[in-house]
Amino acid sequence: MIRQVMDDAGDQMNEGPEFSVEDTGDDRGVTLRGVLSIHIVSRLYAALDALPTQDTRVDLSDVTHLDTAGAWSILCLERRLQSAGQTLDITGASRTAAQLIETVRNALPDPQEAEDGKRSLVDRLEGFGRSVTGAAGYVLALVNYLGLFVARLGRSIRHPSTFRMTALVHHCQEVGLKAVPIVSLMAFLIGVVLAFQGSAQLRQFGAEVFVVDLIAISILRELGILLTSIIVAGRTASAFTAAIGSMKMREEIDAMRTLGLDPAMVLFVPRILALVLMLPILGLIASVMGLLGGAVMSWVELGISPAMFRTRLVEGTDVSHVMVGMVKAPVFALIIGIIGCHAGMQVESNAESLGRQTSNAVVAAIFAVIVADAGFSIFFAQLGI
């Protein structure tokens, strides 16, 4: 049977280098001869694929040239036989050919098993358990990075000469000063929208003047710092991940360790500390711009003059609302900075990993900020603040 298959394959050898596939005189032996290169890979693959599915021994003693394409064809035969419960024995290969075959075997992707369309309850519980375990591991990793940041910050306080002030100033400019335009515009427009929508609803009850309280409490207590943190999470977490991830891809972080530099001290502390310092300032700017936008729209839509708006704002808004908003800022900054730095350190040596980790950092930072804001809301509600 093997001889007949080989004769049919030999009839097709009319192009490219010569090769032959012959049986060795028994039921399971095959001899490959000639050049097994990319020029004849399609014909070689067809000839090997036509072999019967049984235990087979391939002799490479008479192969004059073997490249990765030829090795791939042989390994495809090996995988086909293994999937059917059979074996392939490769003999007579030179040392170079054996090394090449082994290299190609290690480079081949693992075959993906098709998932069963119907999942049992146990499978679903297992998947849920794995997801919970993965989420818990991720949270623990973030806590670990938080502890690392606090430890390195404490070291820099004990040894001020190790602190990198130039890097801190640079990152303050990047995460703070350059974010002022977009944060100001966003907050101004949010104030305009709140005033417009609030006036449309309160006008029905003749309570237009309370739109000032609506704007003040919403902006100062929640929306100002929350939307600022979301913008910073999208802008800064991605920047941290991309910068640190690129350094990891280029093995610059390994070079730092070789030179005796601590990556946490050099990379994490200036970035996270800059974010902790600048986010409260950005939140304050957002609150001021949000109130300004609300005042402008109240004047245009409701005829509330700036003087009346200011008077109502001072009389009807407690300073505790400002404090509630500002207390959240350092916590949000820590969350964003730690998630960005952690994602950067998870980047592998390829661009796909960098893009994936950057996207994951933005999503995780925004989600964590919203969850933390919900926690703060419950906490302050329980305290009656």
CA dihedral 265, 266, 267, 273 (to 10 degrees): 60
Pair (57, 167) in one structural domain: no
Q: Which of 48-52, 237-241, 247-251 has the lowest mean pLDDT?
A: 48-52
Pair (253, 328) in one structural domain: yes
Residue 89: strand pairing partners:
57
Q: Is the per-residue pLDDT at 16 higher than 70? A: no
Pair (181, 240) in one structural domain: yes
Q: Is residue 40 part of a domain?
A: yes
Contact in structure between 219 and 243 (CB atoms under 8 Å): no
Q: pLDDT tens, 99-134?
A: 888 898 888 887 665 555 567 788 888 888 898 998
Q: pLDDT tens, 366-381?
A: 999 999 999 998 998 8
Q: Is residue 300 part of a domain?
A: yes
Q: Which of 16-20, 203-207, 324-328 has the lowest mean pLDDT?
A: 16-20
Average pLDDT, the chain: 85
Pair (351, 230) in one structural domain: yes
Q: Is residue 47 part of a domain?
A: yes
* End-of-domain residue from the set 107, 140, 161: 107
Q: Is residue 54 part of a domain?
A: yes
Q: Is residue 134 part of a domain?
A: no
Q: How far apart are CA 134 and CA 338, in angstroms?
A: 18
In the three-class reduction of DSSP (H, G, I as helix; E, B as strand; rest coil), residue 60 is classed as: strand
Contact in structure between 354 and 238 (CB atoms under 8 Å): no
> How would DSSP label each residue in 247-300?
HHHTTHHHHHHHTT--HIIIIIHHHHHHHHHHHHHHHHHHHHHHHHHHHHHHHH
The CA-atom distances, in angstroms, between 203 and each of 198, 294, 301 are: 8, 16, 11
Pair (177, 307) in one structural domain: yes
Pair (79, 156) in one structural domain: no
CA dihedral 24, 26, 30, 31 (to 10 degrees): -10
* End-of-domain residue from the set 107, 138, 158: 107
- pTM of the entire predicted model: 0.69
Query: Could you tell me the end-to-end alpha-carbon distance of the chain, in angstroms, rounded to an integer?
Result: 87
Pair (85, 167) in one structural domain: no
Q: How far apart are CA 150 and CA 253, in angstroms?
A: 20
Pair (276, 203) in one structural domain: yes
Pair (315, 211) in one structural domain: yes
Domain, as residue range, for 199? 148-383
* End-of-domain residue from the set 52, 82, 107: 107
Burial class (CB in 10 A: 0-12, 13-18, 19+), 287: buried
CATH number for the domain spanning 39: value is: 3.30.750.24
Length of the chain: 385
pLDDT bracket for residue 25 (50, 70, 90)? low
Q: Is residue 130 part of a domain?
A: no
Contact in structure between 78 and 48 (CB atoms under 8 Å): no
Token pair, residue 140, equals: 């623990």
pLDDT of residue 351: 84
Parallel, antiparallel or unpaired: strands 29-36 and 19-23: antiparallel
pLDDT of residue 10: 42
Q: What is the mean pLDDT of residues 341-347?
A: 91
Pair (95, 210) in one structural domain: no
72-82 exposure pattern, b = at least 16 Cβ within 10 A, e = fewer: bbbbebbeebe
The CA-atom distances, in angstroms, between 90 and each of 9, 61, 214, 226, 254 are: 20, 10, 79, 65, 41
Pair (372, 282) in one structural domain: yes
Domain count, the chain: 2
Q: Is residue 136 part of a domain?
A: no
Question: What counts of helices (H) and strands (E) characterise the chain?
Answer: 16, 4
Contact in structure between 81 and 51 (CB atoms under 8 Å): no
Q: How far apart are CA 196 and CA 205, in angstroms?
A: 15
Pair (212, 281) in one structural domain: yes
Q: Is residue 138 part of a domain?
A: no
